[in-house]
């Protein structure tokens, strides 16, 4: 038989050139199959046209059949003679619908038994930290509820002395094929075996501890090392500390998301720490020195000289003045070094004074010619107002 005696030109049927690649042939068939499949097409001749493109794809997608066809031979062994295409769907007289799905969606369907052993899922847990713990680093115990290896069967899923046996339904293949007759021929669809769920084997005597899963739920405690400088939202990745997989498979990963509590004295701003210190009006006017607490005071093993820093307050300091102390902020997570400790001074005006103090203040006002002062509007920078707003909000 020559090409001229065949029912049609397969290349023309699929709309591809004679030197088309396997990928181009598959793409052309996929597009035509989605358009002409009898279940979706409305044209009255869709069934016949679908048979033709299926026949063309069967030949051109098989390198050996395509080679016979290109040399003028009959790639289907006479199946295209007077009797036609053997029902139009291959030499076996049926059409494997799974092949159509593969071609239409560009992927191979799952074939053969699947393994009972699979990797476990990753897990996400949250861990609360105090500000000092986040700043200087620590090691925290973390209790997690997760899947662990079954201690009775050691992950096999079977009772001691028992083992999985070949599934009688699928004969160890993991999937079963159903044949449905239609006007376009026999349509075969392949699905995972309902008896063994695609594993190809069944466990006749499952482990009583894990019911054949190879793992059980358990609470366990792990120690999480917290590096210095972390902040809320940072995650720590612990490889292979997640859930053990089915069948005793390798464990997934554990992600620990950190949440840092607010501090009663310090407010964190990136790598800087901010605090507010109130000083009397007279100290602000005359100048003074004050000892302010550092974050190291929250550490049990901190040296005493690290827990405070002496701050020089220059004479005439105004309320809202910020004095920065370098190297007393939060350690930088990756860059090294530490941020600043920013001390915002809030000048307090005395509320309750006795007669003697009132007289002294009156004399001071007279000496400064401030007995009847006029208010002066002063333009401040946005930063000063921001520091004052934060200071008063902390009262």
153 carries a ligand binding annotation: yes
| Ligand-binding site membership of 210 (annotated) | yes
Residue pair 23/106 in contact by the 8 Å Cβ criterion: no
What gap in Å lies between CA 366 and CA 214, rounded to an integer? 90
CB 308 within 8 A of CB 292: yes
What single DSSP character describes residue 213?
A: S
d(CA 80, CA 72) in angstroms, rounded, equals 13
188 annotated as ligand-binding:
no
- Judged on CB neighbours under 10 Å (0-12, 13-18, 19+), 139 is exposed
- Is 196 marked as binding a ligand? yes
Residue 165 assigned ligand-binding role: no
Annotated ligand binding at 32? The verdict is: no
207 assigned binding-site residue: yes
390 labeled part of a ligand binding site: no
Dihedral sign from CA coordinates of 136, 142, 148, 151: positive
Q: Which residues 6+ apart lie within 8 Å of 261 measured at CB?
A: 128, 129, 130, 131
- Specify binding-site residues: 150, 153, 167, 170, 193, 196, 207, 210
Q: Which amino acids are annotated as binding site for Zn(2+), given as ranges?
A: 150, 153, 167, 170, 193, 196, 207, 210
């Amino acid at each position: 038989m020559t090409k001229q005696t065949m029912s049609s030109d397969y290349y023309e049927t699929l709309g591809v050139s004679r030197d088309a690649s396997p990928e181009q042939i598959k793409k052309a068939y996929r597009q035509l199959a989605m358009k002409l499949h009898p279940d979706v097409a409305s044209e009255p001749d869709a069934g016949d046209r679908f048979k033709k493109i299926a026949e063309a794809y069967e030949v051109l997608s098989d390198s050996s059949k395509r080679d016979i066809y290109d040399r003028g031979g009959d790639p289907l062994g006479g199946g295209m003679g007077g009797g036609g295409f053997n029902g139009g769907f291959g030499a076996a007289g049926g059409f494997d619908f799974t092949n159509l799905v593969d071609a239409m969606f560009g992927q191979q369907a799952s074939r053969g038994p699947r393994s009972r052993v699979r990797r476990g899922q990753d897990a996400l847990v949250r861990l609360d930290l105090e500000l000092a713990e986040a700043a200087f680093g620590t090691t925290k115990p973390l209790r997690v509820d997760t899947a662990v290896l079954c201690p009775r069967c050691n992950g096999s899923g079977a009772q001691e002395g028992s083992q999985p046996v070949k599934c009688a339904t699928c004969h160890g293949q993991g999937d079963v094929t159903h044949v449905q007759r239609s006007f376009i021929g026999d349509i075969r669809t392949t699905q995972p075996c309902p008896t063994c769920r695609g594993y190809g084997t069944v466990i006749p005597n499952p482990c009583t501890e894990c019911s054949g899963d190879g793992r059980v739920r358990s609470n366990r405690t792990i120690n999480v090392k917290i590096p210095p400088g972390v902040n809320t939202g940072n995650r720590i990745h612990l490889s292979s500390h997640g859930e053990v997989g089915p069948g005793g498979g390798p464990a997934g990963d554990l992600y620990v998301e950190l949440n840092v509590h607010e501090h009663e004295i310090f407010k964190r701003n990136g790598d800087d720490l901010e605090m507010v210190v109130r000083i009397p009006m007279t100290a602000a006017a005359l100048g003074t020195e004050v000892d302010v607490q550092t974050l190291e005071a929250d550490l049990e093993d901190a040296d005493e000289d690290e827990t405070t820093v002496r701050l020089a307050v220059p004479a005439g300091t105004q309320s809202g003045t910020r004095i920065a102390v370098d190297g007393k902020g939060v350690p930088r997570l990756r860059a090294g070094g530490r941020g600043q400790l920013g001390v915002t001074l809030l000048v307090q005006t005395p509320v309750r004074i006795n007669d003697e103090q009132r007289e002294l203040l009156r004399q001071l006002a007279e000496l400064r010619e401030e007995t009847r002062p006029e208010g002066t509007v002063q333009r401040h920078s946005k930063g000063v107002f921001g520091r004052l707003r934060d200071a008063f909000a902390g009262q």
